Structure 1
Amino acid sequence: MSEATAGRALVIEDDAAIRELLHLHLGLAGYAVEEAVNGRDALDRARRDAFDLLVLDVMLPGLDGISVCRALRTAGANVNTPILMLTARDSEADTVIGLESGADDYLTKPFGVRELQARVLAITRRHQHGTGRAPEAPTTVDLGSGVTIDIPRREVRQHGTVVELTRQEFDLLLQLATNPGIVFSRTRLLETAWANDTYTERTVDTVVSRLRKKLEHDPRNPAVILTAWGVGYKCASA
């Protein structure tokens, strides 16, 4: 978030204090920040004008943030724009629904400035919005704790030794590893890692458990694949 001109950001938040905080720090990060205070106005503007970042509160007057997010992902100028969803600390259900409606990540209130910066940087890097080119795909991923992934070879090593993984184990690990710090719900992992198969959300827990036994020094205290309680899983940054 240190670029001089990061692009245009639309902050959709009805709480004036939070809106002011977001405006300030996104502005310092180089964004030209615009604001909306209700879902209907936000949807109309975001369907008409292209932005480089959308920060969207779940609880909005008129039209809630979940509905706005779903609508934006179906049509308009911001179908592929990074969306950061804001949720209340105890609204785990809203968090899951928000991710499944098309949001790229979520931020719980109250939040710190550093966490805001990290979340925005992560999702904008992933999208490379407005660059005119897709981000260069990595060929290897270092997960820390001695774990690396060779993507072309579909090979995982721990301290140089190959770890045998099933197809499902590798696909799930790769989905998390190439999006470090981003939380994926179980349903979203099923859709991405098992797109052509039929499984239940419980299957995700089982595969994560197997991966931890194969990759973690202490599976009961994981350092690579982390649990986001009530939401899903994420991969720690190396």
Structure 2
Amino acid sequence: MFHAPSKKVLIVEDEKDILQLVKMYVEKEGFRTLIAMDGADALRQVRANRPDLILLDLMLPEIDGLEVCKKLRLMPQTAMLPIIMLTAKSEESDTIVGLELGADDYVTKPFSPRGLMARIKALFRRLERANDREASDYRYGHLNLNVSRHEVTVQGREITLTVKEFGLLEHLLKNPGRVLTRDVLLNNVWGYDYHGTTRTVDVHVRRIKQKLPLLNDAILSVQSVGYKLKEQDLHA
């Protein structure tokens, strides 16, 4: 189980009331907090204080949340930093863009503080499990996924995946030939009783294929159900 007081959460929100509410609930659960009210300050906070997770509002002054997410994913030291977006329902199209840029999850305003905390804890639990497991390799053609190092390589070249992309790929590699429903993938990879859109899975699968073209024809969409990985010479 992760140790909450050792984790720093950066809250990026320009509405002061929401910022203080989220800060109160995050600290109530034992996490340390950092705050920023615009995108430029968020990037400064990341560089100076190295948070363990970011709660990122999309509509921010100076630099918006989508651009912040994009910049963080382009920097090697923050490419895998967990990001949960805070979005308004009217920003659904931006939410999809955010997921495509590399955000791990999103929460729609108005949100339940308990629901938000459940997502934060689930993301930390997944990271903890990945760090605690013994070395385990999954191979698929020229692709190698190492669980303990949280590393994916293709012919020796490292491919950077976000936490959720890595978890989703790992789950597919563990279950070759098996049809996995979107609900099963959400429950196993996101790690909680998910109430958002299953479009989240589709976006992450698309991102995995973009980063790993060798899987374009290997990850099959099963209409109205989910996905499966074609069986090949895969072994753990």
* TM-score range normalised by the length of the shorter chain: 0.5 to 0.7
Aligned equivalent of 1:224? none
- Measure how far apart 1:90 and its partner are: 2.1
Aligned equivalent of 1:141? none
- Measure how far apart 1:191 and its partner are: 3.5
Change (3 A) 1:178 1:193: farther
**Structure 2: distance between partners of 1:192 and 1:80:** 14
**Structure 2: distance between partners of 1:108 and 1:87:** 5
**Structure 2: distance between partners of 1:151 and 1:187:** 15
For residue 88 of structure 1, what is the amino acid of its counterpart? Answer: A
Aligned equivalent of 2:175? 154
Aligned length: 182
Task: Judge conservation of contact 2:182–2:226 (CA < 8 Å) in 1.
Answer: no
TM-score normalised by structure 1 residue count: 0.64
Task: Find the partner of 1:190 among 206, 222, 231.
Answer: 206
Task: Judge conservation of contact 1:175–1:192 (CA < 8 Å) in 2.
Answer: no
Aligned equivalent of 2:224? 209
**Structure 2: distance between partners of 1:189 and 1:153:** 16
The superposition leaves residues 38-88 of structure 1 with CA deviations (integer Å, 9 ceiling, x where unpaired) of 001111221333111111100000000011011111216433221111000
For residue 175 of structure 2, what is the amino acid of its counterpart? Answer: R
Aligned equivalent of 2:87? 87
**Structure 1: distance between partners of 2:6 and 2:40:** 26
Task: Judge conservation of contact 2:181–2:225 (CA < 8 Å) in 1.
Answer: no
Aligned equivalent of 1:215? none
5+ residue gaps in structure 1? 139-149, 156-164, 213-238
Aligned equivalent of 2:233? none
**Structure 1: distance between partners of 2:174 and 2:125:** 25
5+ residue gaps in structure 2? 137-170, 228-236
Task: Judge conservation of contact 2:14–2:38 (CA < 8 Å) in 1.
Answer: yes
Give the secondary-structure state (helix, strand or coil) at the position aligned to 2:5: coil
**Structure 1: distance between partners of 2:187 and 2:69:** 25
**Structure 2: distance between partners of 1:50 and 1:153:** 32
**Structure 1: distance between partners of 2:15 and 2:183:** 38
- Measure how far apart 1:197 and its partner are: 4.5
Q: Which has the higher contact order (CA 8 A, sep 6+)?
A: 2
TM-score normalised by structure 2 residue count: 0.64
Change (3 A) 1:5 1:209: same
Task: Judge conservation of contact 2:100–2:207 (CA < 8 Å) in 1.
Answer: no
For residue 188 of structure 1, what is the amino acid of its counterpart? Answer: H
Aligned equivalent of 1:226? none
Task: Find the partner of 2:188 among 161, 178, 195.
Answer: 178
Change (3 A) 1:77 1:24: farther
Identity over aligned residues, as a percent?
A: 32
- Measure how far apart 1:211 and its partner are: 5.2
